[in-house]
């Protein structure tokens, strides 16, 4: 709990209007509007977190509702070493400011931010803390929303978790940061090293599909049409035995979000690709000038 009480957004709450953003917030008028946004596995408080890309995303979109599907703040890592750059605070402030404006913000803590689970049912500055939620889509479907670590006990036979929580994985994450810093300097777009590694490891691939099946099956038993989760850092949307499985991915490697359009249509946004496309669109103008 020690590291948590050191988080600046919990101690020095500024008055309305004077939020000290390190990266200035973009105008609201030019944002894309969705009915719902789901993001998870941001892992604030770790070096692997792609806070700058998430800030770019948050400043580009708006929604009626936003679900924070767990592992938003990495309390496990913070306890070992306190790491909290200004950009990480900016992410928290943006979410809190959104709650104050007109967005319903539902926060479902995961396993890395399980210390917030004790506040289930409470409301912090408009942010509702829940253990899980049922979301009704515009086209009338019922989706169960939860982080996904609930299924770890079932999945334990599969050794991926030993890999995810593993030193090898964190090293890969750190390498990912270095590789992308170099790529950025060379003018190359973001590229996920660990994502590629994950798809090359056969065990990881079979773990992912097994996790998806378990989650869809458990959701089906609870009488919903589908399920939205995070946890395994692998964005996906597919139907499994008549149940719609959605995973919003993460902001450590994939940098993805799940969104619902006004008509209930669902989509996964790959934010690194969106930024690359935006930069590409800018280029002819730059060349002409």
Instruction: Please identify, using beta-carbon distances, which residue of 161 and 179 lies nearer to Mn ion.
Output: 161
Instruction: Please identify, using beta-carbon distances, which residue of 183 and 210 lies nearer to Mn ion.
Output: 210
Instruction: Please identify, using beta-carbon distances, which residue of 61 and 235 lies nearer to Mn ion.
Output: 235
Residues that bind Mn ion (CB under 5 A): 71, 110-111, 149, 231
Residue whose entry in the numeric block shows the structure tokens 């450590």: 252
Distance CA 42, CA 84 (A): 13
Least distance CB 10 / Mn ion (angstroms): 21
Least distance CB 148 / Mn ion (angstroms): 7
Least distance CB 71 / Mn ion (angstroms): 4
Least distance CB 219 / Mn ion (angstroms): 17
Instruction: Please identify, using beta-carbon distances, which residue of 61 and 145 lies nearer to Mn ion.
Output: 145
- For the chain, the maximum distance between any two Cα atoms, rounded to a whole number of angstroms, is 60
Instruction: Please identify, using beta-carbon distances, which residue of 35 and 147 lies nearer to Mn ion.
Output: 147
Distance CA 76, CA 53 (A): 23
Least distance CB 233 / Mn ion (angstroms): 8
């Amino acid at each position: 709990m020690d590291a948590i009480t050191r988080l600046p957004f919990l101690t020095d709450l500024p008055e309305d209007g004077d939020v000290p953003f390190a990266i200035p917030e973009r105008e609201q008028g030019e944002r894309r509007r969705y009915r719902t946004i789901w993001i998870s596995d941001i892992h604030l408080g770790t070096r692997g977190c792609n806070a700058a890309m998430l800030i770019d995303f948050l400043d580009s979109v708006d929604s009626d509702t936003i679900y924070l599907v767990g592992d938003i703040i990495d309390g496990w890592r913070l306890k070992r070493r306190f790491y909290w750059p200004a950009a990480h605070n900016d992410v928290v402030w943006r979410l809190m400011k959104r709650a104050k404006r007109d967005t319903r913000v539902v926060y479902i803590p995961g396993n890395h931010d399980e210390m917030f689970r004790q506040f289930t049912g409470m409301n912090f500055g408009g942010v509702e803390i829940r253990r899980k939620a049922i979301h009704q889509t515009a086209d009338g479907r019922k989706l169960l929303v939860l982080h996904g670590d609930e299924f770890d006990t079932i999945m334990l036979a599969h050794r991926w978790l030993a890999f995810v929580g593993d030193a090898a994985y964190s090293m890969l994450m750190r390498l990912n940061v270095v590789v992308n810093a170099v790529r950025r300097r060379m003018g190359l777009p973001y590229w996920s090293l660990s994502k590629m590694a994950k798809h090359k490891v056969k065990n990881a691939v079979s773990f992912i599909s097994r996790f998806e099946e378990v989650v869809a099956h458990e959701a089906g038993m609870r009488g919903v049409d589908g399920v939205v989760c995070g946890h395994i850092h692998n964005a996906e949307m597919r139907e499994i035995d008549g149940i719609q499985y959605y995973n919003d991915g993460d902001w450590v490697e994939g940098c993805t979000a799940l969104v619902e359009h006004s008509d209930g249509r669902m989509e996964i946004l790959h934010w690194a690709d969106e930024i690359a496309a935006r930069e590409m669109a800018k280029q002819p103008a730059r060349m002409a000038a």
